[in-house]
Amino acid sequence: MNSDKENDSVQVAVRIRPLVVSEISRGCQDILEVFTDINQIRIKDSDKAFTFNHVCDTLTSQDTFYDTCVKHLVSNLFKGYNVTILAYGQTGSGKTYSMGTAYEDNEQIGIIPRAVHDIFNYVNDNFSCDFNITVSFMELYQETLYDLLASKPREQCVLEIREDPKGLIVIPGLTAEPVTSASKTLEYLCKGSRGRVTGCTNMNAQSSRSHAIFTINICMQQKNDSANNKTAKFYLVDLAGSERSKKTGATGVVFREGVNINKGLLALGNVISVLGGDKQQSYICYRDSNLTRLLKDSLGGNSITLMIACVSPADYNLDETISTLRYADRARKIKNKPVVNQDPKVAEINRLNKLVTQLRLELIGQ
Ligand code: ADP
Ligand code: MG
């Protein structure tokens, strides 16, 4: 099996957003201390300390964040690995800022536009392969999955999640738009984001309660070698706000939304606990929510996965910040099994070729 040992564990990066102007004017205190040299984050005046793969303080620019935590993952796509990036944290902690939309100015652009540019720079410089790239964009809201790229009224954009006989998740009818440039890809990111705006009365309220899943599918075919092909899926997930509905005092529809989000994020938390070894359970409860069904391959499956845990440094967010750090700490212990996505026949040919080479070397050695 082709597996990069260093990519086996789910990587976790914690990112702390700066205090916002209103927090500074209200006199909020910064309760976090960062020790970047040992990737540790501590809660001031307490013995709570957490260590992650990366800890990025309030001064970390978008550029540095991408170069440190994400860039190397994008290059794995072209080796045929699936890659997933999940942004987790309470509303207002910096998930969307980190993932990025297509609207921002150059310095402030987040992960998605940077990764898209890197992908097409690679594609345009690589003359030995033919590439077939498509994008999809889904929104999971109250356990209902919507296709954000279908040019239809929202109520006709509902998708179903199914499993094929091998247990792989399939989404029949999901729009997959072919793309040949970074700008076209980012147009679809804009189009999908607009779909979220028009689909509800309050975009901010909705975006903090739904999960957004932008996917880039890459098929690579070596020119002059039809047997040499690889595929890779790149999932970029901006999760719903992780705050507990209890805290917001929500009732009615808003409360139901809170419960449904909790259903997805709670199920995700359970999956993370079982996979990370914190909970003794013989089966992994992916079927408990649509979010965990969709992310089945990203946690404990065939993917190189990065979780970005976004936290606020403000004192009034202490409970949510500790809860996010605990969640992320459990995720850190998960082992995935990333393997190169190749046609099984091609994999067998490669195995036999290696064997032939090995036997030749043994013959020469004799
Ligand atoms: P979320 O998506 O988690 O609800 P946002 O990404 O919308 O949160 O961030 C909330 C606010 O904080 C926004 O105004 C955003 O610009 C700002 N912000 C978040 N992270 C950072 C950061 N690392 N640096 C500067 N501003 C940030
Ligand atoms: Mg957001």
Write out the chain's pLDDT in tens, 366 residues.
Answer: 344 445 567 899 999 999 999 999 999 999 999 998 999 999 998 989 999 999 999 999 999 999 999 999 999 999 999 999 999 999 999 999 999 876 667 778 999 999 999 999 999 999 999 999 999 999 998 889 999 999 898 889 999 999 888 878 899 999 999 999 999 999 999 999 887 765 555 556 666 788 999 999 999 998 888 778 899 999 999 999 988 755 444 555 555 555 555 678 888 888 888 887 777 777 788 888 999 999 987 887 788 899 999 999 999 999 999 999 999 998 887 777 777 777 767 667 777 888 898 898 888 876
The annotation status of 289 as a binding-site residue, yes or no, is: no
Query: What is the structure's pLDDT at 1?
Result: 37
Query: What is the structure's pLDDT at 259?
Result: 57
> Residue 193: nearest ligand to its CA?
2
Instruction: Pull the structure tokens for residue 168.
Output: 């792989």
Query: What is the structure's pLDDT at 303?
Result: 85
Query: What is the structure's pLDDT at 58?
Result: 95
Are the CB atoms for 41 and 64 separated by under 8 Å?
no
Instruction: Pull the structure tokens for residue 121.
Output: 């720079």
Rounded CA gap, 231 and 134, in Å?
Answer: 11
Rounded CA gap, 173 and 356, in Å?
Answer: 44
The annotation status of 276 as a binding-site residue, yes or no, is: no
Are the CB atoms for 196 and 148 separated by under 8 Å?
yes
Atom 1 of ligand 1, residue of closest alpha carbon: 92
Q: What is the ipTM of this complex?
A: 0.99
| Ligand 1 proximal residues by C-beta, below 6 Å | 17-18, 20, 89, 91-97, 208, 241, 310
- Amino acid code (one letter) for 253: V
Q: On the CB side of 34, how many CA atoms lie within 13 Å of its CA?
A: 20
Rounded CA gap, 321 and 203, in Å?
Answer: 24
**Which residues lie near ion ligand 2 (Cβ < 5 Å)?**
95-96, 207
